[in-house]
Chain A
Amino acid sequence: EDQVTQSPEALRLQEGESSSLNCSYTVSGLRGLFWYRQDPGKGPEFLFTLYSAGEEKEKERLKATLTKKESFLHITAPKPEDSATYLCAVQGSQGNLIFGKGTKLSVKP
């Protein structure tokens, strides 16, 4: 059964304190791993797609990496505006996205 587990559930950082969010997955025939950002009361905003182990993508203070079992979202020198819930999802051979429960990130000034 395809499964996605995100950790930690919640993360509090001081502004400028770098850290990483984890997404562990099991999937049959990985077609893609997706990272999203979700603000309260809004829909998820697409950030990255990763397709194969060793792939990395970057956008401003965010960098996503992928291995055969997990993905990390690294946040370098975060700012308060990076506070949000970050969602990870995988798409396997059966075609539908399987979402994790998310990591709620709070960045204090």
Chain B
Amino acid sequence: DGGITQSPKYLFRKEGQNVTLSCEQNLNHDAMYWYRQDPGQGLRLIYYSQIVNDFQKGDIAEGYSVSREKKESFPLTVTSAQKNPTAFYLCASSSELGTTRGQPQHFGDGTRLSIL
């Protein structure tokens, strides 16, 4: 079954701690994305990557970091610099590279991060 797997489903962070959220896809998609979802707000883009070893900041990148060492994987680290990390984090992928028409993004089932 092709899809996007996010883990863990729930994560708790202590003060001053960095935590890493996992995202793996087996859809053979070039592009991958991280969004943050807060109650009553639309999804906001944190980082995106269109190709291995390359990524760009989205609208709210401060306090977050990413890597893209493999096509299938795009982990997100929430650093201690992110002062309000409690949110629902969603990873997505799409076959965007080289297309002129917008391609749909397909999402994982999210990781809910809370502060201890």
Contact = CB atoms under 8 A, between A and B. Distances in A.
A16 interface: no
Interface stretch (B13-21, B38-46, B61-69, B72-80): B38-46
Interface stretch (A36-44, A59-67, A70-78): A36-44
B108 interface: yes
Given A32-B102, A41-B112, A97-B105, 9 more contacts: A31-B101, A32-B103, A36-B107, A43-B108, A43-B109, A43-B110, A96-B45, A97-B45, A99-B42
Give the dominant DSSP class at A's interface.
strand
Give the dominant DSSP class at B's interface.
loop
Interface residues of A, number: 24
B84 interface: no
Interface of A: 4, 31-32, 34, 36, 41-46, 49, 51, 87, 89, 91, 95-102
